[in-house]
Amino acid sequence: MSRETTNAGKLGKLQRLSTALGANGGELPHLEASRALFDALLAKAQDAAKQQAAFIASKQEASKQLKSLLTEGERMANVLQLAVKQHFGIRSEKLAEFGLQPFRGRTKAKPTPETPAPAPPPPVTPPAGSTAKPPAPASHSANPETV
């Protein structure tokens, strides 16, 4: 999920959330006071964006104001989004209307068949009564020319 980085993108995202909250006001009456504050904050942010576009000379101050209002708006949007998740549940498809991803469960990873490593051969132990030396390995032959 990509995050908005431009002020216009952030403002558009906040506007879409406000529209969705307004359209579902009947289902979310307990958020009405917060939504009213959010709408007022959004209106101020939109005015600051308009001011920023109109006054090039005072652009720096309007940019600071817009940045702080957008940050505050995003914080409030997070609270409202959590409240919407709490109200509808994290699995509700209704969350998509608010720009939120409903939880649809984790996909199970395919089990990888693990082949067991071959067991090492057991060590050869001479019989208990035998004192004979074991034969020399084949790689050490009696022919000194090959050594």
Total domain count, the chain: 1
Query: By residue range, what is the domain housing residue 44?
Result: 7-98
User: Is the Cα torsion angle 52, 60, 79, 106 positive or negative in sign?
Assistant: positive
The verdict on residue 138 lying in a domain is: no
Contacts of 127 (CB under 8 A, 6+ apart): none
The verdict on residue 22 lying in a domain is: yes
Instruction: List the structure tokens of 113.
Output: 């068949």
By the 8 A CB rule, do 11 and 50 touch? no
The verdict on residue 110 lying in a domain is: no
Residue 141 pLDDT more than 70? no
Give the tens place of pLDDT for each residue, 46-85.
999 888 888 766 778 888 899 999 999 999 999 999 999 9
The verdict on residue 139 lying in a domain is: no
The verdict on residue 62 lying in a domain is: yes
**pLDDT of the residue at 127:** 66
Q: Which of 54, 17, 13 is nearest to 34 (CA)?
A: 17
Query: Per-residue confidence at 129, pLDDT binned at 50, 70, 90?
Result: low
Helix, strand or coil, per DSSP, at residue 22: helix
Where does 55-141 have alpha helices with state H?
59-88
The verdict on residue 40 lying in a domain is: yes
The verdict on residue 120 lying in a domain is: no
The verdict on residue 19 lying in a domain is: yes
